[in-house]
Amino acid sequence: EVQLVESGGGLVQPGRSLRLSCTASGFTFGDYAMSWVRQAPGKGLEWVGFIRSKAYGGTTEYAASVKGRFTISRDDSKSIAYLQMNSLKTEDTAVYYCTRLSRGHDAFDIWGQGTMVTVSS
Amino acid sequence: DIQMTQSPSSLSASVGDRVTITCRASQSISSYLNWYQQKPGKAPKLLIYAASSLQSGVPSRFSGSGSGTDFTLTISSLQPEDFATYYCQQSYSTPGFGQGTRLEIK
């Protein structure tokens, strides 16, 4: 079964850091770009960033709202994608979803269950 | 950035109704448009990709059309499990979502 499982969420104070993990199974992880999408409580979906597969350079892109603070990385040997979040702000409070980008169409075709991040003092 | 605007923001309909949701891009995105369904407390689910291609396992009552800047998602005959929030998303450039359309039971 194709599956993504996020972990690492929790309560963190403003200005602190947190790292989320996304463990993949059921597909060849290294062949796909991976992305993070978040959803603040009661709000819509917001793309956070993505990391391309190694075949496409493994490069990253980020939303303006997180650029310079968040970093996405991947460990293809472990089938894990990471989201390192630094200098967290209260407005980063959201459910964070790990997603797979489909090849050829760049749609988010597989989603994890999400992990909640609450930034509060 | 490309802005995505959905209409309506909310919609009330009955089981069996035909429903159409529209999505407009601020510039041409060719057919790089995807649709998702999200139920409360759950992750979104891909329904339609590349404007009109049905994702595997999605019922055929869902269909998508459009290209350029104007797109539609149509549900031909609403079923009880279809009441949810729907999002469009462009994949022409750095990804962006519409604000969502909440489909409620009349």
Element (H, E) at B17: none
Buried b (16+ CB within 10 A) or exposed e, B63-95: bbebeebebbbebeebeeebbbbbbbbbbbeeb
Arithmetic mean of pLDDT, B26-45: 98
Q: Residue A47 and residue B97: Cβ atoms within 8 Å? A: yes
- Rounded Cα distance between B66 and B58, Å, is 19
**Residue A104 confidence (pLDDT):** 83
Q: Residue A105 and residue B49: Cβ atoms within 8 Å? A: yes
Interface of chain A against chain B, CB under 8 Å?
A: 35, 37, 44-47, 50, 61, 63-64, 97, 102, 105-109, 111-114
**Residue A40 confidence (pLDDT):** 98
**Residue A61 confidence (pLDDT):** 97
**Residue B95 confidence (pLDDT):** 96
Q: Residue B46 and residue A107: Cβ atoms within 8 Å? A: yes
Return phi, psi of residue A58, to 5°. 65, 20
Return phi, psi of residue B30, to 5°. 55, -125
B101-105 vs B10-13, strand pairing mode: parallel
| In the predicted structure, residue B8 carries a pLDDT above the cut 90 | yes
Chain A nearest-CA distance from B98, in A, is 8
Write the DSSP assignment of A58-71 as a string of letters: T-EEE-TTTTTTEE
Q: Which of B46, B94, B97 sits opposite A45 (nearest CB)?
A: B97
Of B18, B16, B35, the closest CA to residue B101 belongs to B35
- Give pLDDT < 50 ranges for chain A: none
Say whether A33 sits in a helix, a strand or coil: coil
- Rounded Cα distance between A12 and A111, Å, is 24
List beta partners, residue B48: B35, B54
**Residue A105 confidence (pLDDT):** 82
Element (H, E) at A81: strand A80-85
**Residues in chain A closer than 8 A to B86 (CB atoms):** none
Structure tokens at A5: 């499982």
